[in-house]
Structure 1
Amino acid sequence: MGLWNRYAVPAIVSCACATKPAMRQRAKIVPAAAGEVLELGCGSGTNFAFYDPSRVTRLHAVEPAPGMVTRARAAAAQTAVADRVRFHQTGAENLPMEDASIDTAVITFVLCTIPDWRGALREVRRVLKPGGRVLFSEHGLAPDADVARRQHRFEPVWKRLLGGCHLTRSPADMLAAGGFRVERIETMYLPSTPRIAGFASWGTAVPA
């Protein structure tokens, strides 16, 4: 699994996270990011093209996987915020930012994968300024019992093949458990996406 995670997973995840439905989800929230921005798990830089250069002062892109960082650097160079991106090759559980230094945290299709998601959300809370907010778009546990049963059944294999991605996590519940209040949330099954991986939720949250 070492070679698989090193070489295959970055390519597969980059492709899966850049489908048309997923890109439409990103476009719903990323342009609203402003000020000092933290992106949790930037992956291959799929969000970078959606940032509004008139709103973003600096973009702190956090990503632990070397292969993804390489891809993200190349992606950043092609965007209008190229000169504002600062890469941090580290896990989300140990953010290198100072307390109360971030205006906006962007979390897209990554809570499903972070091993210590409680620690990561605790860190996000620590670095957010008073009045700061989280913009999120995630996939997770479906509300329909038949879909949820299939998610639980396939999750063990899914995690092994896709770098630890979980199908049965609930983003809204995770944010609440991490000390946030969800201000706005919308949900839907993404079109042209397998239902076990396509139940999406997106919106905004603030420290509770």
Structure 2
Amino acid sequence: MTGPRQWWTDRVVPRLVDRSLDDRLAGPWREQVCGHACGVVLELGFGSGRTLPFYPDSVTRVLAVDPSDLAWEMAADRLTASRMPVERVSQDAASLPLAPESVDTVVSTWSLCTIPDLDGALAEVRRVLRPGGSFRFVEHALAASPRMARVQRAIQPVWGRVAGGCHVDRDILGLVRGAGFEVDTAHEGYLDAVTSPASWFVMGSATPGSS
């Protein structure tokens, strides 16, 4: 039998995420992250498919990774309307049934904060990216302000339970660099004038380093 916490994670959180990251807020960020994608795209945290309209004609296929069956169901209309084929290939970003160097672009929009085994997922991203491919992302992350970072760490135990495992205290840029990527940061700062624990955004692209 599913307990209340699992019910909340499975049936409520996907709807809350879909609503809180609607196109009014997230559309301009998705446009920047997805707009330069090309070829075969692996998307971590596909959710309800809100990224699909932002992919350019240069994208030929989208391989979706998402743990939520409900979110995949919510994506039905967007999947039908998509001009490119979309296939859900895994529920676990740390275990991808893909050959090495088999994708051209990896995209993540507000998903690295929630993936349980982020180190494993980043290792998989590096494994499946073709030479010259790019990893494009936007996430909320640990703030540069020590005061806000203390707040983020303090609220994380409660935040994580309510937000389905989301972390507001992850140093996303540091973790991506630590996984062997060279990062080109396009944005690092608060969302406009909002200074809340979840409003410190980082956006950029990364390529595998030489090591």
Global fold match (TM > 0.5): yes
Which deviates further from its counterpart, 29-38 or 180-189?
A: 180-189
Give yes or no for contact 1:108–1:138 (8 Å, CA) kept in 2.
Answer: yes
How far the C-alpha of 1:185 sits from its partner, in A, is 3.4
Aligned residue for 2:40, secondary structure, equals: strand
Which deviates further from its counterpart, 140-149 or 164-173?
A: 140-149
Aligned to 2:29: 25
Report 1:1-208 matches (<5 A): 1-18=5-22, 20-52=24-56, 54-81=57-84, 84-191=85-192, 193=194, 195-208=196-209
Which deviates further from its counterpart, 18-27 or 185-194?
A: 185-194
Shift in CA distance, 112/38, structure 1 to aligned 2, threshold 3 Å = same
Which deviates further from its counterpart, 114-123 or 181-190?
A: 181-190
How far the C-alpha of 1:73 sits from its partner, in A, is 3.1
1:116-167 CA-partner distances (Å, limit 9, x unpaired) = 0000010111111111111111111111122212111211111101110000
Q: Which runs of 4+ in 1 moved over 6 A?
A: none
- 2:7 & 2:192 partners in 1: Cα distance? 32
1:47-82 CA-partner distances (Å, limit 9, x unpaired) = 111111x2011111111211111112332223333x
The residue identity in structure 2 corresponding to 1:31 is G
How far the C-alpha of 1:192 sits from its partner, in A, is 6.7
- 2:11 & 2:111 partners in 1: Cα distance? 19
RMSD after superposition: 1.5
How far the C-alpha of 1:18 sits from its partner, in A, is 2.0
The residue identity in structure 1 corresponding to 2:95 is N
- 1:203 & 1:181 partners in 2: Cα distance? 10
How far the C-alpha of 1:95 sits from its partner, in A, is 0.8
Give yes or no for contact 1:69–1:89 (8 Å, CA) kept in 2.
Answer: no
The residue identity in structure 2 corresponding to 1:132 is G
In structure 2, runs of 5+ residues without a counterpart are: none
The residue identity in structure 2 corresponding to 1:201 is V
Which deviates further from its counterpart, 108-117 or 7-16?
A: 7-16
Shift in CA distance, 19/161, structure 1 to aligned 2, threshold 3 Å = farther
Query: TM-score, normalized by length of structure 1?
Result: 0.92
Query: TM-score, normalized by length of structure 2?
Result: 0.91
Aligned residue for 1:95, secondary structure, equals: coil
Give yes or no for contact 2:107–2:136 (8 Å, CA) kept in 1.
Answer: yes
1:176-195 CA-partner distances (Å, limit 9, x unpaired) = 11111103432121137552
Shift in CA distance, 204/40, structure 1 to aligned 2, threshold 3 Å = same
